Amino acid sequence: MELSKLLIPGAVRLVGQFTSKKRLFQELGEIAAQAYGLSAAVAIDGLQERESLGPTGVGHGIALPHARLEDLNKIIGVFIRLEKPLDYDSVDRQPVDLVFGLFAPKDSGVDHLKALALVSRTMRDQAIVTKLRANADPSKLHAILTESRAPQAA
């Protein structure tokens, strides 16, 4: 599994700021709708439902909101870099500026977990995170996220 198969260039954005996590989820849903034809309302509801189980802010300014959805036939991703970090209730209490949203089919099982692990590994790579924070062009952000890397163990 590669990020280039999960994330298309049209699903990568730079956004100034959000006033709430709810507004961020609305934007993730709208981007998923525009880029992949997903229902924005279904995507937003899925993210909010998953978030109610526990925060998806993993620390170091990174959030990995995700949801399993009906009527989705493959795993897809949406990436947002925020110019002004958002208070997200992350595990380390730090605001978030890098958000990788992941949407998977309801019955994706282990593939959803593999995709989440791949995104998590990528976002833990300090060199990648530094490049993401240093770039404002969505096409460059996409290239940074999807450039080929040697596979690593989880």
| Amino acid at the residue 112 | H
154 within some domain: no
* CATH code: domain of residue 24: 3.40.930.10
- Can you tell me which residue has the tokens 């282990």? 110
Give the pLDDT band (50/70/90) at residue 32. very high
pLDDT tens-digit series, residues 97-149 = 999 999 999 988 888 889 988 999 999 999 999 999 999 999 999 999 998 65
Give residue-wise pLDDT tens across range 58-77.
Answer: 889 999 999 999 888 899 99
* Domain total of the chain: 1
Residues of the domain holding 51: 3-146
SS3 content of the chain, % helix, strand, coil (to 5): 45, 20, 35
- The residue among 31 and 1 whose pLDDT is bigger is 31
Q: Is 66 a catalytic residue?
A: yes
* Strands 96-105, 57-59: pairing kind: unpaired
pTM of the model: 0.91
Residue tagged active-site, from 60, 66, 112, 142: 66
Q: Is position 152 within any domain?
A: no
